[in-house]
Structure 1
Amino acid sequence: MDSNKKSSSNSCPFNKLNELFSRKWILYILRDLFIGKKYFNEFKKANPEMSNASLSNNLKYLEKEGFIIKKIVDNETNKTEYSLTEKGKKMNNTLYQMILFGLSELVDDVTDEESEEIKQEFHKILIEEIPK
């Protein structure tokens, strides 16, 4: 690909990846989805510093981009459940590789033992036990 050519933001994978991963809180929400969290309040409880507006906007973005499905499970209470789509589940290896890179190249205040525990935990979450 000629890097001097202009491409539309929709056809450039770097633009799309940047749009996805530059969103504040998106990695935490994705982590929570892989862990098995499904409800707005569960995401909020896991990330109390995140505003309701930010959480809502990110969930809408993930739904619009086809990474998650929003399902109303109770019309009376308007209880809504979120789950990963097949497209969303395909991010598991990318997220796991980001964890490995972060541990080996960005984080310097964890012991080798702690690093190994983190790797094993995220391997289990992202590789072994992808939510159904």
Structure 2
Amino acid sequence: MGREISSNDKCDMSLCPVNKAMEYLSKKWSIEIIRDMFFGKTRFSQFKEDKPKLSNKVLSDCLKHLESKGIIKKRIISDTPTVTEYYLTERGKSLNKVIYELAVFTIDCNDNEEYLDESARMERKKEFREILDIDIE
């Protein structure tokens, strides 16, 4: 199968790639913001539209965190009034497969409020593949 992990690797979980990935994505709302960007949202107010519990401060902190990790970039569109847009960097765009697999996991678990038959699940996956620009061979 795979390479055996040495006892040193087992003890030092800070070297674990999953742990490292979580440093990028574990801040509350990060995954949702990244997903929203794939779905075309670029502005502060758009990120809040369907998240009534998301405060301005938490959103601002999340955007700063994602920017510091190289996942997103901020672009000032105009100074008066200040209009800022956010967009995914190449590193951020590379998360498309992660977002897709999370969606597929939930679609396949059929944990939605309503039951999805096989055809509906396949259609939902197709929608996500198109939006996230996923090539499946």
Q: Taking structure 2 as the reference length, what is the TM-score of the superposition?
A: 0.79
**Residue 94 of structure 1 corresponds to which residue in structure 2?**
98
Gaps of 5+ in 2: none
Structure ID, larger Rg: 2
Structure 1 unaligned spans of 5+: none
Match in the other structure for 1:68: 72
Residues 40 and 124 of structure 1, relative CA distance in 2, 3 Å threshold: same
Matched, 1:84 2:88: yes
Deviation, structure 1 residue 106: 6.3
How many residue pairs were aligned? Answer: 126
Identity %: 39
> What's the secondary structure of 1:4's corresponding residue?
helix
Find runs of 4+ consecutive structure 1 residues off by over 4 angstroms: none
Q: Could you tell which deviates more after superposition, 87-96 or 118-127?
A: 118-127
Which whole-Å CA distance do the structure 2 matches of 1:110 and 1:124 have between them? 23
Pairwise mapping of residues 1-132 of structure 1 onto structure 2 (< 5 A)? Answer: 1-2=5-6, 3-6=9-12, 9=14, 11-105=15-109, 107=111, 109-112=114-117, 113-127=119-133
CA displacement 1:12-49 (0-9 Å, x = unmatched): 31222223333222221111100111110111113232
CA pair 114-20 structure 1, distance change in 2 beyond 3 A: farther
Measured on the aligned residues, the alpha-carbon RMSD in Å equals 2.0
Provide, for residues 91-122 of structure 1, a one-character-per-residue CA deviation record: whole Å limited to 9, x for no partner. Answer: 11121111111222362643224423321221
Contact 2:33/2:47 (CA < 8 Å) preserved in 1? yes
